[in-house]
Structure 1
């Protein structure tokens, strides 16, 4: 059964479009080789990422990601075995919603800032699957 991790982190410096594109190129290539799928969301200097695949592979990848100097303050919201991969056709999907869209995806419309939203998710990690479902809906549009 696939293993899934959801985390957020703060960009060390504001990301440029070309910087984000390079991250996606590298992630998609590496994920293809490792049979990892997932999604990357970037909002107001914050990364929110979902990774899924073999537990050992995803855990090793997460260790590598946590030591990447392009970001800091890595916070894992959810990790565990899932029945099926949510992003099985995406080596690395990408979305760049507004903070308001992220709040709505988390079931917290009207949350003032992304930082507040992430604090709310940290206090109640059960919101993570709601975000996942809504990310999938956004990708389907």
Structure 2
């Protein structure tokens, strides 16, 4: 059975670009081994991530994320059983924030500022769908 999980969290400290690249690199390695796919967005100290895969793999990964000292205020935004993956092309795609159009954010949010804590999980998933369609996901 496949599931999709969307969460948001705040970084417990400032992350350098190298820190973020290390997170993405390790995620890609582990996710490939565990059959997990998804996307990661990091902006202004906030993580937003979509994970897809088996219920066991996704739940195990999320438990690790919640326990990771780099995260605080880890909030489950959406969790659902799915028939197919939306983000199967990425073991862990990364949102290119330079391609994040404020009008696209405003379509799903109260303001043009990306604040997942003021959005629904459905809205976040739809925003990620649009980011994929707009070519705003980096693979390497």
Give the TM-score normalised by the residue count of structure 2: 0.84
Q: CA deviation at 1:15?
A: 1.1
Q: Does the 8 Å contact 1:7/1:77 carry over to 2?
A: yes
Q: In structure 1, what is the equivalent of residue 116 of structure 2?
A: 118
Q: Does the 8 Å contact 1:43/1:96 carry over to 2?
A: no
SS at match of 1:90: coil
In structure 1, list runs of 5 or more residues that go unmatched: none
Instruction: State yes or no: 1:84 paired with 2:84.
Output: yes
Aligned residues: 136
Q: In structure 2, what is the equivalent of residue 73 of structure 1?
A: 73
Report runs of 4+ in structure 1 exceeding 4 Å deviation.
none
Q: CA deviation at 1:82?
A: 1.4
Instruction: State yes or no: 1:130 paired with 2:137.
Output: no
Distance change in 2, residues 1:55/1:130 (3 Å): same
Give the TM-score normalised by the residue count of structure 1: 0.84
Cα separation, 2, equivalents of 1:5 and 1:39? 11
RMSD in angstroms over aligned alpha carbons? 2.3
Q: Does the 8 Å contact 1:103/1:111 carry over to 2?
A: no
Please identify, of 87-96 and 42-51, the stretch whose mean Cα deviation from structure 2 is larger: 87-96
Q: Does the 8 Å contact 2:40/2:95 carry over to 1?
A: yes
In structure 2, list runs of 5 or more residues that go unmatched: none
Q: Does the 8 Å contact 1:106/1:131 carry over to 2?
A: no
Cα separation, 2, equivalents of 1:45 and 1:140? 19
